[in-house]
Structure 1
Amino acid sequence: MEITFLGTSSGVPTRSRNVSSVALRLPQKSEIWLFDCGEGTQHQLMRSDLKSSQIRRIFITHMHGDHIFGLMGLLASTGLAGAKGQVDLYGHPDLKDYLNACIRYSHTHFANRIQVHAVEPGVVFEDEQFTVSCNPLKHRIPAFGYAVTEKDRPGRFNVEKAKALGIPPGPIYGRLKKGETIALENGRRVSGKDLCDPDESGRKFVYCTDTVFTENAIALAENADVLIHEATFAHQDAEMAFDRLHSTSTMAAQVALAAQVKQLIMTHFSPRYAPGNPLQLHNLLEEAQAIFPNTCLAYDFMEYEIPRHQTQPKSLARSS
């Protein structure tokens, strides 16, 4: 699970930050899942190492323009480029009406390639490897946070160890991989669990924006490997945050601490904290780290790989 930040500004783009979009690359599926699609996202994709042809699912948090204005352009461009695979979109019921209006007035045709799913709190997608769930956040219009939870994977079967015990290759290996106990010809009983590495616990990715502090974000992010949370404002601008129903750096850190996540990555920053202003983003980082030390600031094209870990916790090396 590899994260690429395609836009980390709030409201409007700046010279160095585009508006909201985050890509989650799933190498095991050769797919990219996009979270929000602000204006210019397709240009950001072209500047990254990601392939837009691999976009399989797009999750929209809410219907504000800085989170959806790039959606129609991206879908149209991938269609003109010859993409034929289905793309599933998830979001508020208004998302389908918005796309239908865009299609009508731009005379764009997607055939049956685009499927729109109206989300409700709970599970919105599940397959054999992942579950995606959402929870309502607290913003000026209906907004949702999303959690992608990877299912646990059985540990690697040690073929060399099995051969050393005189177990011949064949269907019996399949039983051992499942953890079954089998009897050898000499009467010895062997447990498959003794021939497999420890199970790998599934990883959890959570994306929460736009929202003021809410218990729903804590519930969604519980024990996440990485929480991406908006931090539009500094702590001293909390009154503005409450008025506009956005988060401060300290609110994001409080969610991370209460949810016991492993890593907090803050994003969706107001341009008011650009270099040269009295308060800058490093001040927001210091505020958050005073509450939740394992916090970092996102920037456009930042990459972060969520590490795998076995059922028995180990110290993890993190990429920045």
Structure 2
Amino acid sequence: MQITFLGTSSGVPTRSRNVSSVALRLPQRAEVWLFDCGEGTQHQFLKSDFKSSQIRRIFITHMHGDHIFGLMGLLASCGLAGNPQQRIDIYGPPQLNDYLQACRRYSQTRFSLPIKVHRVEPGKVFADEDFVVSCTQLEHRVPAFGYRVAERDRPGRFDVKRAQALGIPPGPIYGRLKQGEVVTLADGRRINGAELCGPPRPGRKLVYCTDTIFCQNAVDLADGADVLIHEATFSHQDAEMAYQRLHSTSTMAAQVALAAQVKQLIMTHFSPRYAPGNDIQLSDLLSEAQAIFPNTIMAHDFLTYAVPRQPEMALATSAGS
């Protein structure tokens, strides 16, 4: 699981930050899942090493423009290159399908690949053999949802040397034993695969919360996550503005991370008011958050973060311009 931030500004783009979009790369299945799709997201794709043909799922948090104005353009472009592409599944608030249908009708746009829109409600929104995605409602001026991507636990590591010592012949039987099956050998011995495997390896958990003010639902959604991506639109010094607009401060994001006992907090969705040269700058927001939750970093466009399998260390890198 690898996260790349395609837009980290709130409300409007700036010279260095586009509006909201986060790409989750799943290398084991050659897929990209998007979380929000602000204006200019497909331009950010062109500056990265992503391909639109890799997009398989798009999760929209709410209907504000800085989170959806790039969606119609991206969908209209997908598939135009003539490359075969699977259906794109889109998940979001009840109004999302009406919005896309209106855009298609008034622009007379025909998508060149299958699109399916799913109306989300709190609870499980998607599941397969590898992942479970759930959502909960946050507190914002319009209905807004946070998403949790949970990788399913994997079987423990198979002890090949022990299997060989027991005289178990290699081959398809090893695959069955790795899954914990009880297998009868040719000599009549019954081997319990679970006894040849280590403890299950927990799957990784990623949570995406924006836009919202501090709320218990965000804490519950983020419980024990490996990575929490949380909006931090305002500085703690501008808390009154955050309450008025139902956005989070840097300290609210840190409080969610602390209460949920996450491993890593990545803040995003910053107000342009904290530009270099102003009285309060983004470095101040980072200091505010780290005073509460030290394991906090600040996203910027094209920051890439690899979610580790414990006890490996995560790797954060910069890419693009």
Distance 1:46 1:111 in 2: 20
Residue in structure 2 matched with residue 222 of structure 1 by the alignment: 223
Deviations 1:24-50 (A, max 9, x none): 011111111000000000000110111
CA positional deviation for 1:179: 2.3
Residue in structure 1 matched with residue 243 of structure 2 by the alignment: 242
Would you say the 8 A contact 2:176–2:193 is kept in 1? yes
Distance 2:5 2:289 in 1: 20
CA positional deviation for 1:222: 0.5
CA positional deviation for 1:181: 4.8
Residue in structure 2 matched with residue 38 of structure 1 by the alignment: 38
Distance 1:186 1:115 in 2: 53
Residue in structure 2 matched with residue 318 of structure 1 by the alignment: 314
Where do residues 89-104 of structure 1 align in structure 2 (5 Å cutoff)? Answer: 89-104=90-105
Is 1:290 equivalent to 2:302 in the alignment? Answer: no
Deviations 1:178-214 (A, max 9, x none): 3245566778765423433442211110000001111
Distance 1:133 1:267 in 2: 21
Residue in structure 1 matched with residue 211 of structure 2 by the alignment: 210
Residue in structure 2 matched with residue 78 of structure 1 by the alignment: 78
CA positional deviation for 1:81: 2.0
CA positional deviation for 1:161: 3.8
The gaps in structure 1 that reach 5 residues or longer are: none
Residue in structure 2 matched with residue 258 of structure 1 by the alignment: 259
CA positional deviation for 1:168: 1.2
Distance 1:175 1:318, change over 3 A: closer
CA positional deviation for 1:93: 1.2
Residue in structure 2 matched with residue 279 of structure 1 by the alignment: 280
The residue identity in structure 2 corresponding to 1:109 is: R
Residue in structure 2 matched with residue 11 of structure 1 by the alignment: 11
Range 214-223 or range 165-174, more displaced: 165-174
Range 174-183 or range 67-76, more displaced: 174-183
Distance 2:100 2:110 in 1: 11
Distance 1:181 1:75 in 2: 48
Distance 1:59 1:94 in 2: 14
- Provide TM-score, normalisation by structure 1: 0.94
Distance 1:183 1:128, change over 3 A: closer
- Provide TM-score, normalisation by structure 2: 0.93
Task: Indicate the SS of the match to 1:116.
Answer: strand
Distance 1:40 1:139 in 2: 24
Deviations 1:265-291 (A, max 9, x none): 000000111111111111101100111
Deviations 1:125-146 (A, max 9, x none): 1111111111001111110000
Residue in structure 2 matched with residue 69 of structure 1 by the alignment: 69
Where do residues 19-58 of structure 1 align in structure 2 (5 Å cutoff)? Answer: 19-58=19-58
- How many pairs were matched up? 315
The residue identity in structure 2 corresponding to 1:57 is: R
Residue in structure 2 matched with residue 300 of structure 1 by the alignment: 301
The gaps in structure 2 that reach 5 residues or longer are: 317-321
Where do residues 160-239 of structure 1 align in structure 2 (5 Å cutoff)? Answer: 160-181=161-182, 190-239=191-240
Range 105-114 or range 221-230, more displaced: 105-114
Would you say the 8 A contact 2:122–2:135 is kept in 1? yes
Range 190-199 or range 111-120, more displaced: 190-199
Range 202-211 or range 186-195, more displaced: 186-195
Q: Identity over the aligned pairs, expressed in percent?
A: 73
Would you say the 8 A contact 2:149–2:207 is kept in 1? yes
Task: Indicate the SS of the match to 1:33.
Answer: strand
Residue in structure 1 matched with residue 319 of structure 2 by the alignment: none
